[in-house]
Amino acid sequence: MAKIIVVTSGKGGVGKTTTSASFATGLALRGHKTVVIDFDVGLRNLDLIMGCERRVVYDFVNVINNEATINQALIKDKHCENLYVLPASQTRDKDALHKEGVARVLDELRQSFDFIVCDSPAGIERGAMMAMYFADEALVVTNPEVSSVRDSDRILGILASKSRRAEQAEEPVKEHLVLSRYAPERVERGDMLSVDDVMEILAIPLLGVIPESPSVLQSSNSGVPVILDEASDAGGAYGDLVARFLGEQRPHRFLSVEKKGFFKRLFGN
Partner 1 sequence: MSPPNDRSADAAPFDLKGSLFTLTVLHLRRTDPAAIERHLAEKVAQAPGFFVNVPVVVDCEGLADADAALDLAGLIACLRRHGLVPVGVRNGSEALVAAAQAAGIGVLPEGRGSGRRAEPERAAAAAESERGSGAPSSRGNRLSTHPVRSGQQLYAPDGDLVLLGTVSPGAEVLADGNIHIYGPLRGRALAGAKGNAEARIFCLSLEAELVSIAGRYRVLEQTSSEFWGKPVQIHLADDHLIIELLAR
Residues making contact with partner 1 (CB under 8 A): 150-151, 153-154, 156-158, 160-162, 166-167, 169, 172, 201, 203
Work out how close the CB of 129 gets to partner 1 at its nearest, in angstroms, rounded to a whole number: 10
Work out how close the CB of 161 gets to partner 1 at its nearest, in angstroms, rounded to a whole number: 4
CA dihedral (14, 18, 24, 28) positive or negative: negative
Q: Is 12 labelled a binding residue?
A: yes
DSSP secondary structure string for all residues of the chain = -PEEEEEE-SSSSSSHHHHHHHHHHHHHHTT--EEEEE--TTS--HHHHTT-GGG--S-HHHHHTTSS-HHHH-EE-SS-TTEEEEPPPSSS-GGG--HHHHHHHHHHHHHH-SEEEEEPPSSSSHHHHHHHHT-SEEEEEE-SSHHHHHHHHHHHHHHHHHSHHHHTT-SPPEEEEEEEEE-HHHHHTTSS--HHHHHHHH-S-EEEEEE--HHHHHHHHHT--GGG-TTSHHHHHHHHHHHHHTT------S-SPPPPPHHHHHH--
- Of the pair 123, 223, the CB lying nearest partner 1 is at 123
Q: Is 127 labelled a binding residue?
A: no
- Of the pair 137, 153, the CB lying nearest partner 1 is at 153
Q: Is 17 labelled a binding residue?
A: yes
- Of the pair 149, 242, the CB lying nearest partner 1 is at 149
Q: Is 15 labelled a binding residue?
A: yes
- What backbone torsions phi and psi does residue 41 show, to the nearest 5 degrees? -65, 130
Q: Is 247 labelled a binding residue?
A: no
- Give the integer Cα–Cα distance in Å for 20 and 78: 16
- Of the pair 110, 150, the CB lying nearest partner 1 is at 150
- Of the pair 75, 156, the CB lying nearest partner 1 is at 156
- Of the pair 67, 167, the CB lying nearest partner 1 is at 167
Work out how close the CB of 157 gets to partner 1 at its nearest, in angstroms, rounded to a whole number: 3
Work out how close the CB of 126 gets to partner 1 at its nearest, in angstroms, rounded to a whole number: 12
Q: Is 34 labelled a binding residue?
A: no
Contacts of 100 (CB under 8 A, 6+ apart): none
Work out how close the CB of 154 gets to partner 1 at its nearest, in angstroms, rounded to a whole number: 4
Work out how close the CB of 200 gets to partner 1 at its nearest, in angstroms, rounded to a whole number: 8
Query: Which residues carry a binding-site annotation?
Result: 11-18
Query: Which residues carry a binding-site annotation for ATP?
Result: 11-18
